[in-house]
Chains A and B, each alone.
Chain A
């Protein structure tokens, strides 16, 4: 079947705009995630500067509200999500022995919609003012009555578009893991990171449509004058809280589960031991996901749901400590008796465990509804969720990035700088957030833009600010490390950590475009390690060398996302007066929105009408390209 299609190969920028290769999309996600992570980090530092001393006037109250809103929103939706997707894209097809994801086109579409949604949200800084109703955007604070700028419109529409990208990515990874596994890789032989990503993708699938609806309702309230949350016409603000948290609580598990997977891989590799209690880990992951959907109202204890609801959600929340505890002990038992090497990824993983336990313990404290009446909306809550998200997820991401960096880029990051990064970051982290527990307990409210002196807040806030800058130094060391590494030769071996256990370490770093010259046969959990123990240098192939079918690059996902961006922007400004009759005409008659949607749906039509026949890499090319890639 060697019919060669000629396919246009792009170079330079066009290559990146049109790529459908999961490894390149991983790098795009990483770059975009780093950009937004940087923006969110700068916002965090500005917040901490403002709070460094009492009665500070570094920023105004309005600017402070915008900063905290954008810090939370950016970090959750645009900072850590894409970095998770970067690692999922870079690693999962390799771990399951696949040449690509199930839907390469959708993979690219997911990235570009995410990026343009994120750009739209951040555009708010330059036109009309950033959202200022908190990352939870509770009504009526986020209604047009109290939030006068277009900030919240940027929030609803920007997140809508970015969320669409995330949903597409989730479906893609579900289908990939279900159908694209190499022969012999049953579900219970999948690496732990693949498992947690699978469960996370399922949670994305079930959680994101809820927020889609929530954002639609808020958009309609603000732009079309609907009354979902308008009490005077029969609406109910509690509806927003329910919908937001039915999405929002699963969202935090969506974030943390992949980190659990990364930690499992790293701890097992650097202990030179099989992951302790693999099947209980799988079970615990699924249980956490299930319970994650059952506990949303613990964010609403003080809303007034009544004792029955509060008791139910309180108990359900405490139950989550059980599967999480199973995971913690499994990691400890994996290390126990192992030949532990404290490489940078493992340092982050080992630092993760106690830090995350602290965040988990405060979580159980908060789960107790009566006690929550005291903690609610204080810095105790801020400390808690930063312990689980930064101390949990971000440490996990650093572990994962250091661990898979050589696989993604073919170069080992400097271990020396990596260790410096770890120590500055983790010390800075605990300085920043440990004291915030006590700030909360002695009564400091969250989201206040300043505070009066001599209430016992002053010193702890200063310590917290210094810690935040130390974390910033840690991140800068990481960036320097990346810069120095990029100048070094690309010489990482297939298995640069030497103790690789899973399939990604059987192929070159970085892998060739087609990943596997021959799809491997999987004979057990930790497939590569199993072969190593049997004395084999490489995997047994499951197929003869043959021509490999590849999908064609395409610009359509990019254009579709641009269309959504235009449509969103147009819809937002429908009732504005531009002082220019032409502008007023095209915006108020939904012409701009229509053009944007026409671009998006037109691209969809083009995609449907013109079949992608793809192209083939022939066996003769495989031999020469196999090594250098």
Chain B
């Protein structure tokens, strides 16, 4: 072997199970439900604004977790490095957003 691989190489032989589509269809339905809740809560209106904002953000985060965890396989073994770097990216993005929300206007 030319190179030592710390990432992924060893997991190949353990993962010969064939994944069916059911799991992903369930994740998809879950995403659709989350989206529907989000749109419905806005379309309905009249509810407490702060509550709606919180609800929308929770729906968005849950849906992103489905995408990243299930569909982009971040929950699988051997994804430490991708998780680390995605988290880093989201962290710095969060810093920019905090600055934009709290330290821009006075």
The answer, yes or no, to whether A24 is at the interface (CB within 8 Å) is no
B-chain residues with CB within 8 Å of residue A239 when the two chains form the complex: 100, 104
B-chain residues with CB within 8 Å of residue A206 when the two chains form the complex: 88-89, 92
A165 to chain B, nearest CB (A): 20
Give chain A interface residues in 469-510, CB to chain B under 8 Å.
none
Of the candidate stretches A176-184, A344-352, A557-565, the one touching chain B is A176-184
- Report yes or no: A242 in contact with B104, Cβ–Cβ below 8 A: yes
- Report yes or no: B2 in contact with A210, Cβ–Cβ below 8 A: no
A236: which of B1, B85, B105 is its contact (CB, 8 Å)? B105
- Report yes or no: A293 in contact with B3, Cβ–Cβ below 8 A: no
The answer, yes or no, to whether B51 is at the interface (CB within 8 Å) is no
- Report yes or no: A242 in contact with B100, Cβ–Cβ below 8 A: yes
Interface string of B1-17 (1 = CB under 8 A from A): 11111110000000000
- Please, which residue of chain A has its CB at the minimum distance from the CB of B81? A178
- Please, which residue of chain A has its CB at the minimum distance from the CB of B105? A236
A113 to chain B, nearest CB (A): 21
- Report yes or no: A305 in contact with B4, Cβ–Cβ below 8 A: no
- Report yes or no: B88 in contact with A98, Cβ–Cβ below 8 A: no
A99: which of B2, B81, B100, B102 is its contact (CB, 8 Å)? B2
B-chain residues with CB within 8 Å of residue A236 when the two chains form the complex: 104-105
A-chain residues with CB within 8 Å of residue B91 when the two chains form the complex: 293
A451 to B91, CA, bound (A): 45
Interface string of A564-591 (1 = CB under 8 A from B): 0000000000000000000000000000
- Asked whether A246 and B99 contact (CB < 8 A) given A202-B88, A236-B104, A306-B106, the answer is yes
Interface string of B65-106 (1 = CB under 8 A from A): 000000000000000010001001101100110011011111
The answer, yes or no, to whether A604 is at the interface (CB within 8 Å) is no
- Report yes or no: B88 in contact with A242, Cβ–Cβ below 8 A: no
- Report yes or no: B95 in contact with A293, Cβ–Cβ below 8 A: yes
Interface size class of B (residues with CB under 8 A): 20 to 34
- Report yes or no: A246 in contact with B2, Cβ–Cβ below 8 A: no
- Report yes or no: A519 in contact with B2, Cβ–Cβ below 8 A: yes
B-chain residues with CB within 8 Å of residue A618 when the two chains form the complex: none
- Report yes or no: B3 in contact with A297, Cβ–Cβ below 8 A: no
- Please, which residue of chain A has its CB at the minimum distance from the CB of B92? A206
A202 to B88, CA, bound (A): 9
The answer, yes or no, to whether A287 is at the interface (CB within 8 Å) is no
A181: which of B3, B100, B105 is its contact (CB, 8 Å)? B3
The answer, yes or no, to whether A309 is at the interface (CB within 8 Å) is yes
A541 to B46, CA, bound (A): 72
B-chain residues with CB within 8 Å of residue A174 when the two chains form the complex: 85
A305 to B92, CA, bound (A): 20
A-chain residues with CB within 8 Å of residue B104 when the two chains form the complex: 236, 238-239, 242
B11 to chain A, nearest CB (A): 14
- Report yes or no: A183 in contact with B96, Cβ–Cβ below 8 A: no
- Report yes or no: B7 in contact with A294, Cβ–Cβ below 8 A: no
A-chain residues with CB within 8 Å of residue B106 when the two chains form the complex: 304-306
Interface residues of B (CB under 8 A from A): 1-7, 81, 85, 88-89, 91-92, 95-96, 99-100, 102-106
Interface residues of A (CB under 8 A from B): 98-99, 174, 178-185, 202, 205-207, 210, 236, 238-239, 242-243, 246, 293-294, 296-297, 304-306, 309, 519, 542-543
Question: Can you offer 27 A-B residue contacts whose CB atoms are under 8 A?
Answer: A98-B3, A174-B85, A178-B6, A179-B3, A180-B3, A181-B4, A181-B6, A183-B1, A202-B88, A205-B89, A206-B88, A206-B92, A210-B92, A210-B96, A238-B103, A239-B100, A242-B104, A243-B96, A246-B95, A293-B91, A293-B92, A296-B99, A306-B103, A306-B106, A519-B2, A519-B3, A543-B1
